[in-house]
Structure 1
Amino acid sequence: MSRIGLKPIDLPAGVEITVSEKNLVEVKGPKGQLSQQIDPEMVINIEDGVLNVARPSEQKRHKSVHGLSRTLIWNMVVGVTEGYQKSLDIVGTGYRAAKQGNKLVLSLGYSHPIELDDPKGLEVEVPAQNKIVVKGIDKQQVGNFAAKIRDYRKPEPYKGKGIRYTGEHVRRKVGKTGK
């Protein structure tokens, strides 16, 4: 039984959802518009400002896609109303970030600075030299771009230097001991 799939989605004021053939779900809200292809076999009902996702049978495949379908729609609704953001911290001497126009410039101890263009639909802010905030309405796109930034210098376990998510705990190792 999918507990998540059975939960109804209450649609906030100002959000419009249209479901076209083959379950292409389009969500419009105050922050923008998103669309996602949901499994065509899932049954999507909208009544009195409440959206329900039902599965056609008790097959294993339908059970596994049921909760996923509901969560994808819920993420779109939250995205167009509130939006998503990921914060990254830069730890290390000489490591810094700067914003030049629509480019993010990272100095991470390499022989060259790393320049990244802002992806379409995302907003990247640098409130301080050691902090990066990625904002957008698509949860997957925000997470992917934050992970791409983090991959340039993952936190290392000995000194903890690198790029980490805000609040992420980095397990520290003890270094060599001299005799």
Structure 2
Amino acid sequence: MSRIGKKPVPIKKGVEVQVAGRQVTVKGPLGQLQWGLVDGVNVEVKDGHLHVERASDIPRLKALHGLTRMELHNLIEGVTTGFERTLELTGVGYRAQVKGQDLSLNVGFAHPVSVSIPKGVQATVDKQTVVLVKGIDKRLVTQVAANIRGIRPPDVYKQKGIKYAGEVLIKKAGKAGKK
């Protein structure tokens, strides 16, 4: 049995959870999120907690049992505190700026790269080299951050590129050369 799926999800103060058919809706101070349930996985609200149960021990349902529990936990966390990812731009002349709903990046290409920020996600720039991506939907926030990082992933040889804050890059030695 899934150890993660068995754990009940505590519902924080100020959060309202509704289970209607195969749809779970979570409302909180920061907004509202929804999650669709798969057939065979059921959710019920008891004593201020969400309990996730599966119908059988089919391997597919075992996998979805823990996933559903964590997604519901992320929904509750998102509507109460939100999620954020911090990206750092490292390199000579690398900088970022926000223009409306677009993020403009100068990261060593001949032209600035523009990234469209979807609704529900906010991007702010601090000191021209630190980009903060915030929102209530964890999947959306992490996907936007991954898309931004994918424009110029960090290079382990030159130590340049866009990396997550706290990401450790181990510098590799270049070619040794002929003797």
The residue aligned with 1:108 is: 107
1:79 maps to amino acid: G
Following the alignment from structure 1 to structure 2, what is the Cα–Cα distance between the partners of residues 138 and 71? 13
CA RMSD of aligned residues (A): 1.1
Following the alignment from structure 2 to structure 1, what is the Cα–Cα distance between the partners of residues 100 and 118? 13
Name the SS of the counterpart of 1:110 in structure 2. coil
Superposed, 1:1-179 pairs within 5 Å as 1-21=1-21, 23-178=22-177, 179=179
- Give CA deviations for 1:49-100 in whole Å, capped at 9, x if unaligned: 1110011122222212110111111110100001000000000011111122
Name the SS of the counterpart of 2:171 in structure 1. coil
2:142 maps to amino acid: G
TM-score normalised by length of structure 2:
0.95
State the Cα distance separating 1:103 from its structure 2 match: 2.1
Following the alignment from structure 1 to structure 2, what is the Cα–Cα distance between the partners of residues 91 and 177? 25
Name the SS of the counterpart of 2:108 in structure 1. coil
Aligned residues: 178
**Runs of 4+ more than 6 Å apart:** none
Alignment gaps of 5+ in structure 1:
none
Alignment gaps of 5+ in structure 2:
none
Following the alignment from structure 2 to structure 1, what is the Cα–Cα distance between the partners of residues 151 and 59? 39
Following the alignment from structure 2 to structure 1, what is the Cα–Cα distance between the partners of residues 60 and 140? 26
Preserved contact between residue 117 and residue 144 of structure 2 (Cα < 8 Å): no
Name the SS of the counterpart of 1:173 in structure 2. coil
State the Cα distance separating 1:42 from its structure 2 match: 1.0
Give the stretch that moved more between structures: 123-132 or 34-43. Answer: 34-43
Following the alignment from structure 2 to structure 1, what is the Cα–Cα distance between the partners of residues 151 and 64? 34
